[in-house]
Amino acid sequence: MKETFIVKHAVGGKIFIDTGKRPVPYKLEKKADGGYRFTVTTPRGPEIEELLELARELNVFVFRDYSEENEPTIKTWFYVKDGPVAYDDGRQALTIDAEAKIEYVPDRYLS
């Protein structure tokens, strides 16, 4: 299975993080309140600053590609809403909290 983590600006479509193009260590945890927390290890720079400024307008996705196992790709959209989205300079860690998720198979999605 191949997993890709993407963080993008919902309005402008700018992609800040795409582990399919540039690997970045990250961890996804289920929180006690039922939400989700992503922790991304990355140095602070202009892109992270811009991401923090647009924190209320982020879309976060995880794609799980099972193509080698003859299973469909599963796309999960995490609903960030009010976050929080924060950066810890001491740990060089970006955290993104999401309150809910929607999981679907893109090839089977009907609009």
Each of the 111 residues of the chain gets a pLDDT tens digit; together they read 889 999 999 877 899 999 999 999 999 999 999 999 999 999 999 999 999 999 999 999 999 998 777 788 899 999 998 889 999 999 999 999 999 999 988 766 555
CA separation for the pair 106, 76 (Å, rounded)? 10
The CATH number that applies at residue 58 is 2.30.110
pLDDT for position 108 = 67
Q: Other CB atoms closer than 10 Å to residue 66's CB: what's the count?
A: 12
- Count of structural domains within the chain: 1
CA separation for the pair 62, 77 (Å, rounded)? 7
* Range of the structural domain that residue 60 is part of: 2-108
Q: Other CB atoms closer than 10 Å to residue 62's CB: what's the count?
A: 20
Q: Strands 74-79, 15-18: parallel, antiparallel or unpaired by DSSP?
A: unpaired
For residue 72, what are the contacts with CB-CB under 8 A and spacing of at least 6?
A: 66, 105, 107, 108
Task: Give me the phi and psi of 12, to 5 degrees please.
Answer: -90, -15
End-to-end CA distance of the chain: 27
